[in-house]
Structure 1
Amino acid sequence: MNRLLITGAAAVATLSGVAQAQSSITLYGLIDAGLTYTNNQISGTGGGHSNWQMTSGAVQYSRWGLRGSEDLGAGLKAVFTLESGFNLNNGQYSSSNRIFNRQAYVGLTSRSYGSLTLGRQTDGMVDFVAPLSLTGTEFGGTHFAHPLDNDNLNDSFQINNSVKYLSPDMGGLKVGALYGFSNEAGAFTNNRAYSFGISYIWGALNFGAGYLQLNSSARTPAGLNTNGAVTDTTGSSLQGAQSPTSVPLGVLASSQKTFGAGVNYTFGPAVAGFVYSHSKLAQFFQSGLSGTFQNFEGNFRYALSPTIELAGAYTYTRTGGNGGGGVPHWNQLSAMADYRFSRRTDAYVQGVWQRVSPSGTSPLGVAWINGISAPSATTNQIQATVGLKHRF
């Protein structure tokens, strides 16, 4: 991947002959544009209608960012990342209240001891489990997410006010931990988060596991702490949201506990994988529902040639608890073909079919493929996209 690299070389020596530290800044980004068809989509006129639309980020969210480092000597570096997501269709930020809405952190990294960073960052589920699921990779992405992205493997939200540690590679083993502060006096747990993860690579085998917990992220006697660890929203009010149309489930819940693990095995040009995740949420939506989501994903990738990659996944999701009007469960089939023009540019075609049953009176009782602007009017929904991605 070619990048614009601005490097300040150590060229000026002091009178004692000691050179100044070397530093660098990298400008990078990704643009994902597509044309998407969706059936049964609810609209303002009522009922379900087919929809043809231009979309941004069908596979990977469109973004740009700055990444930099300064060599401090003895294997120690100062590092930073500032990353902003945007909507290619209209050029707007993907978040109305943030410039660097995806990541914004600064810290220190060492070859021997790992990295310690502070700011807005990703959690252990995103870092350690998502790369083993097609929703967390370039081979599936946004629409392949588990229903409502209930386990955050598609990186629907990041953690504010966070301190994060990632270990160096220790013979294939890596570990990490994160803590996101509530930043509220007298309410230390009101909208805090913590997370950890582990991964291990042994030959063709790649294993990862992660845990994420959000505490009092919305429903507390004092109300939502809008300066806390999780505050992502595209709507005007978290407290007023009636359904998952506005925000991730965990933001609306009084608590969320998510665990996940996955494994990939590579044989020749193929990669087979399995991912399991479990999310327990208390009092999500205004109706105060509580329950669990269990996701079982089997996925497969095959490099047909150096330029053509095929991928597919099947996900079964079931719920438990007082889901209301019958406990829903989902079946989802996803497939994608990708053609690389170069290392930086590729075209793709993908599709997802989702079915939920039973519907009952639950607000979760209709199909809704992740990344689609409105749910289906029925228990079924189909999405198909043809698109182009470019990295810089």
Structure 2
Amino acid sequence: MKYRGLTTAAALTLFAGAAHAQSSVTLFGLVDTSVAYSSNARTNAAKPAAGGGTQWQVFSGSVYTSRWGLRGSEDLGHGLKAVFWLENGFNSANGTFKNGGDLFGRQAWVGLSSDHNYTLTLGRQYDFLVTYLAPLSATGSGFGGNIAEHPYDNDNLNNDMRLNNSVKFSSASFGGLKVGAMYAFSNQAGEVSNNNAYSAGLSYSVGPINLAAAYLQINRNPNAQNATGADSTGDGNALTLGGLQRMYGLGAQYMFGQSSVGVLWTHTSTDSVSNLWLGGSTGNGALPGGSNGAGNYIKFDNFEINGRYFVRSDFSLGASYTYTTASFESSKGNAHPHWNQVMAQADYLLSKRTDVYLEGVYQRVGGGNGISAFDAGVYTLTPSRNNQQVVVAVGLKHRF
């Protein structure tokens, strides 16, 4: 009996170890903090042209937004796994939450993943411009990150917007080809199409060449905003306030070793637009034409070329140039602004998880027709009081 008990205990221990080996939960995160300089920063948000000056600040997320999270999987057998991802964004300069104070405002989803076929997930997730196209850009998940974003992040390549209430299908790679589609519910009774959304994309990789294309459409009623729909306005998620919004683009990248060059084009349009995401506050990006923007229309085209060269395995130099042209139409004033933006970066790895960087951006805007929303502005730093701005950040990133 004694030996039988020992055998049973040993078997249970081995079984517990095997079960544990079939499941995993990982704590992960990144902290990015810098000292940032901005020129011509507004001193009066209510009167943008009233004054401006140099601004120095400790700033969180010049390249990548500081975040922490939990991700995990459970082996269900037959090549199928349950997967989840919970991710919080925070301000490392003062310890506060980002994403409107949401606990898991960056991502929150659960789903199923097949080893060789697909992944199906439900929750708060990124669209396919972020998943497939952004890695070919300098902004977003690219090496330049946040302060390299296109004006107002109008195409969401900097992943400032997530889709709530979404169901997302992503295929595995078949000969280098991946495809995906998603639908995000409005969650509003009797208003299925008031702030619902859908997105699709494809990615193809062959040798050193990566190609991608993606599409996103958000359907909204500008006269009856649904703040808890697919593109939430309640958590500061919306990049542009208004009605029907479309985004799509194409990109290509060539890799040589660790180094790369990339080109891409994106187009976005919004009907009944009233506000643009500027300096982290839609109020600073208010457009003329009425409180709900009825009759207003805006479109953007972004053209980017970028490159990153590794001088050594631990030291890289990168740069990007983006030309953005826009057309704004309303009964109270039209404009055809255009932006020239240059970004340059030097990055040095102290270890595999820690690096220091120096990154600068110069932005110049023309054709704004005196509309303050079309003043220069870089990411969530204080926008310029005029058509030019220089931002320089020296920072430290650490991953865990």
Alignment TM-score > 0.5, same fold: yes
In the TM superposition, what is the alpha-carbon distance from 1:325 to its structure 2 partner? 4.2
Amino acid across the alignment from 1:295: N
Could you say what the CA RMSD is over the residues aligned between the two structures, in angstroms?
1.9
| Structure 1 consecutive aligned stretches of length 4 or more whose deviation exceeds 3 Å | 10-14, 18-21, 232-235, 247-250
Displacement of 1:311 = 0.6
Correspondences of 1:107-126 after superposition (within 5 Å): 107-126=111-130
The one-letter code sitting in structure 1 at the alignment partner of 2:357 is Y
Q: Does 1:249 align with 2:250?
A: no
How far does residue 326 in structure 1 lie from its aligned partner after superposition?
2.8
Aligned residues, how many?
A: 364
Aligned mate of 2:342, from 333, 336, 361 = 333
Deviations 1:332-373 (A, max 9, x none): 00010000011100000000000000231334331111231x
* Residue among 381, 384, 388 paired with 2:392: 384
Contact 1:334/1:350 (8 A) holds in 2: yes
Query: Map of 1:30-109 to 2, 5 A cutoff?
Result: 30-44=30-44, 46-109=50-113
Look up the SS of the partner of 1:152 in the other structure: coil
1:292 aligns with 2:293: no
Residue in structure 1 matched with residue 281 of structure 2 by the alignment: none
1:134 counterpart SS class: coil
Q: Equivalences for 1:142-291 in 2 at 5 Å?
A: 142-216=146-220, 219-220=222-223, 223-232=224-233, 248-250=238-240, 252-268=241-257, 270-285=259-274, 287=289, 288=293, 289-291=296-298
More deviation, 32-41/355-364? 355-364
CA contact (8 A) 2:181 2:201 kept: yes
1:196–1:211 contact (8 Å) kept in structure 2: yes
CA distance in 1, matches of 2:24, 2:272: 46
Q: Does the 8 Å CA contact 1:11/1:19 hold for their aligned counterparts?
A: no
Q: CA deviation at 1:20?
A: 8.1
Q: Which runs of 5+ in 2 are unaligned?
A: 1-11, 276-288
Cα deviation 1:78-114 (Å, max 9, x = unaligned): 0000000000011111033411000000000001221
Q: Tell me what 2:4 maps to.
A: none
Query: Residues 164-206 of structure 1: CA distance to partner in whole angstroms, max 9, x if unpaired?
Result: 0110111111111111000011100001111011100010100
Bigger drift between 156-165 and 269-278 goes to 269-278
| Length-normalised TM-score, structure 1 | 0.89
Q: Which residue of 1 aligns with 2:351?
A: 342
CA shift, 1:138, in A, is 4.9
Query: Which letter maps to 2:247?
Result: T
1:186 to 1:255, Cα distance in 2 relative to 1, 3 A: same
1:132 CA drift (Å): 0.3
Are the counterparts in 2 of residues 347 and 387 from structure 1 also a CA contact under 8 Å? yes
Question: C-alpha displacement at 1:118, in angstroms?
Answer: 0.4
Would the aligned equivalents of 1:325 and 1:361 in 2 still touch at CA under 8 Å? no
* Closer, same or farther: CA 303–232 of 1 in aligned 2, 3 Å: farther
Q: Unaligned regions of 5+ residues in structure 1, if any?
A: 1-9, 236-246
User: Aligned residue for 1:311?
Assistant: 318
What is the rounded CA distance, in whole Å, between the counterparts of 1:11 and 1:117 in structure 2?
A: 33
Percent pairwise identity: 46
Instruction: Give the aligned partner of residue 140 of structure 1.
Output: 144
Give the TM-score taking structure 2 as reference length.
0.87
* In 2, Cα distance between equivalents of 1:386 and 1:99: 28
